[in-house]
Amino acid sequence: MEKKGWWYEQPLVISAIQVHVKKGSKAAFDEYVSKAGYNVEQLLHLFAPENDLMTYYEEEKHGAKLDDYLAYTEKAGIKKIVYTNTHGLSVAKSAENEKYRQIGKDGKPDYIYGIYNLACINPHGEFHKDVIKNIRGLCRHKIDGIFFDGPINRGCYCEVCQADFKKRYGHSIFEATPREFNEMRVDTLTEHLKEIYSVIKSINPEIAVYINNSALRPDVTGSNTRKVYDYVDMLGAEGGFYEPHYGIDSLWRTSAFMKRLESVIDDPLKDGKPIVNFIAANDSGVSLQLKTAGETAITYAHTLANGANVWYGFHYDVFKGMNTPAAKKAEEYNKFILDHKDLFKASASCAKVALMWSENTANYYASSVSGSDFTDAKDTGFKERGDHRVALFAFVDMFERSHILFDIVDEKNIENGEIDKYDTLVLPTVACLSDENAERIKKFVKNGGTVLGNFDVASYNEYGVFAGESKLSEVFGFKGKPTLYSCSWGSIMFKAANHPALSYVDAPQHLACFLDLKREYEKDVNVLMTAHPPMDSVYSVMPEERYPAFTERKYGKGKAYYLSGTFGETLAKRKVNAYRKTIKGLIEYVSHPVVKCDEKGLYEVSLRRQEDRFLFHIVNMTGEMERPIEKVLSLDNLHFEIDLGGFGLDKNKYTLRAIRGGKLKNLKQSGSVVSFDLDKVDEYEIVVIE
């Protein structure tokens, strides 16, 4: 059996001081890092210039300083990962060699953060060669890992990239199709990282390599999480970097990002690589404004509940921040993790519901690109299309608020047949689908699975070319060409049937979607809800015409459900509570629930399996009616029922224990189902079932 690296041995709690330390790195180690419950340290601060945010490792300049620091801190037994920048160029670095710069289509250097040039990471370019030179030197020091911040490629038009593109495609990069342009930037970045990884491992295989993966984002930075998988030892993403506006993607950001990473690593209990959640101590983009203690606790708990390791980073003076309530809360959780290492070793999700993240839809269809450190938010001009990423996070929000266990899957999971372990597949505005994956989804439903689609589901091929009709028409029962309705006022949806999926929807009518498709259907389609065409004004007389808005159809042994509009996107804008109730009722009806629990309170539940036991996580998010949450409010007397069957650990009797102070009452077991009451959940609880 191949020997696994040190990064598999125990949960990782990584300290990352992301700025220059005026008092000195050794003082920061003595007063903070060594005392705050970390077992790994990431070294940006050791090489950071005093008045610049761009930090690089340069062997000639930093080698002796690194050795001195390693010797000073060695006795503490804390692993050392060296930070180096591979995305932005400081003013000095940019002036050092103009060929380091990433060039825009206009022939001018491209910028990041408004003031720094982007680095061209083409493997034939000068910056790549400079990185390789310094990495060769770095790997000969007694370090444990290297973190590359970036790399990114927005699409470079420098002479080297122009020549590479012409060689690859036979024409100028200025004549590139969207597909060619996207492939070029992704493949260039992947080759850049591939060579770096090869050099590192040829010198010292025990050095761990990881980067800032994009996770739930289109390939706008060239960093494709699956493409780079073979050239990293851990997968990390900024699930704990919340946007200041606290949008729908921030409340559950950690959970969604970590679920996405888990979809890439295959089976965590076998050879799946560790995943890491990058948690900013501060609100993203506002270095001096730390997260509240409440949201720090929630972010840590989401991380642990989704099988991830912790990275916690200060972006301003650590000596001013380390005694704040937020930092003390992080320290509390750090020490809890290290005191319970066995609970946070590899585990696998027990969810039976899968929510699809479609890279193809994100790249070739979506109406918006999310903002990040690496790319500004921008509108691509598709005014009558849905927005897959917004839709996905809206479904995440509905699932979490309804306490539904779910995983996130992508095209590769469908190709590999991994969706067969789920009973329900949800396609949130998944417009782009290959013929092969359409056939796999048909087979999934024929064999007894349930699929939920919406709006223009599967109406485009994997590269965004209109297919003429949905590739899943046969499954949903579509006939002919649909009519598109766009309504800024909002139409109305009406209950058309008494159906278990609508059991929680208490109002007979509610807001319909802003974009909607009127379709014709096969005779065997069951109409659950209808809608009417748009009105000129909310004061207009409501039209009498109705068309199907929520439908059900048997297909083989399974069922297909369809929502005709941009369901998730409308929820994100208008917060229609009936939408969540519709999804809650549907999922409870079609999917055998692994966990049943009380409706009261805002909390996430997660059931994960280790080799010989289950771990049931409850993350409490109940707080003030505004963000950020300052203080989490305790939930009392929650009831849970968990079906542990079908996971290969069936036992005649299970023992249960709560780890974080809760008391279990009324324990019962009937076959594979265990039930219990929990007297309270403060911020976070773990129930061990073995």
Is pLDDT at 369 greater than 60 in this prediction? no
Is pLDDT at 374 greater than 50 in this prediction? no
The pLDDT of 351-367, averaged and rounded, is 91
pLDDT band at 377 (very low <50, low <70, confident <90, very high): very low
Q: Which residues contact 668 (CB under 8 A, 6 or more apart)?
A: 674, 675, 676
- CA dist 487 and 384 (Å) reads 11
pLDDT band at 373 (very low <50, low <70, confident <90, very high): very low
Domain range 353-590, its CATH number among 3.40.50.880, 3.30.930.10, 3.20.20.70, 1.10.3720.10 = 3.40.50.880
pLDDT band at 607 (very low <50, low <70, confident <90, very high): very high
Is pLDDT at 161 greater than 80 in this prediction? yes
AA letter at 170: G
The answer to whether residues 327 and 1 touch, using CB atoms and an 8 Å cutoff, is no
Is pLDDT at 243 greater than 80 in this prediction? no
pLDDT, one tens digit per residue, over 274-300 is 999 999 999 888 888 899 999 999 999
pLDDT band at 342 (very low <50, low <70, confident <90, very high): very high
The pLDDT of 379-400, averaged and rounded, is 82
Closest CA to 615 of 587, 639, 649, 591: 649
Closest CA to 597 of 407, 403, 406, 405: 403
Closest CA to 253 of 244, 261, 242, 264: 242
In the prediction, which pLDDT does 648 show?
86
- CA dist 323 and 330 (Å) reads 10
What are the backbone dihedrals phi and psi of residue 595, each rounded to the nearest 5 degrees, phi first?
A: -130, 130
pLDDT band at 2 (very low <50, low <70, confident <90, very high): low
Is pLDDT at 52 greater than 90 in this prediction? no
Q: Where in the chain is the domain with CATH 3.20.20?
A: 1-81+234-345
pLDDT, one tens digit per residue, over 138-159 is 999 999 999 999 899 999 999 9
In the prediction, which pLDDT does 383 show?
53
AA letter at 216: L
pLDDT, one tens digit per residue, over 649-673 is 888 899 999 999 999 999 999 999 9
In the prediction, which pLDDT does 367 show?
54
In the prediction, which pLDDT does 375 show?
41
In the prediction, which pLDDT does 626 show?
85
Fold of 1-81+234-345: TIM Barrel (3.20.20)
The answer to whether residues 529 and 502 touch, using CB atoms and an 8 Å cutoff, is yes
How far are the Cα atoms of 173, 423, 495 from residue 640, in angstroms, in the given order?
58, 21, 31
Q: For the chain, give the percent of residues with pLDDT over 90.
A: 83
pLDDT band at 372 (very low <50, low <70, confident <90, very high): very low
pLDDT, one tens digit per residue, over 401-416 is 999 999 999 999 999 9
| Coil/strand/helix, residue 576 | coil
Q: For the chain, give the percent of residues with pLDDT over 70.
A: 96
Task: Tell me the two tokens of residue 394.
Answer: 């809206």
Q: Architecture of 595-689 per CATH?
A: Sandwich (2.60)
Q: Which residues contact 318 (CB under 8 A, 6 or more apart)?
A: 17, 19, 21, 28, 32
Q: Where in the chain is the domain with CATH 2.60.40.1180?
A: 595-689
pLDDT band at 537 (very low <50, low <70, confident <90, very high): confident
The pLDDT of 340-358, averaged and rounded, is 97
Q: Which residue has the higher pLDDT, 54 or 445?
A: 445
In the prediction, which pLDDT does 687 show?
98
The pLDDT of 428-439, averaged and rounded, is 97
Q: Where in the chain is the domain with CATH 3.40.50.880?
A: 353-590
How many Cβ atoms sit within 10 Å of the Cβ of residue 73?
19
In the prediction, which pLDDT does 244 show?
67
Please provide the average confidence, as pLDDT, over all residues in the chain: 93
The pLDDT of 43-48, averaged and rounded, is 96
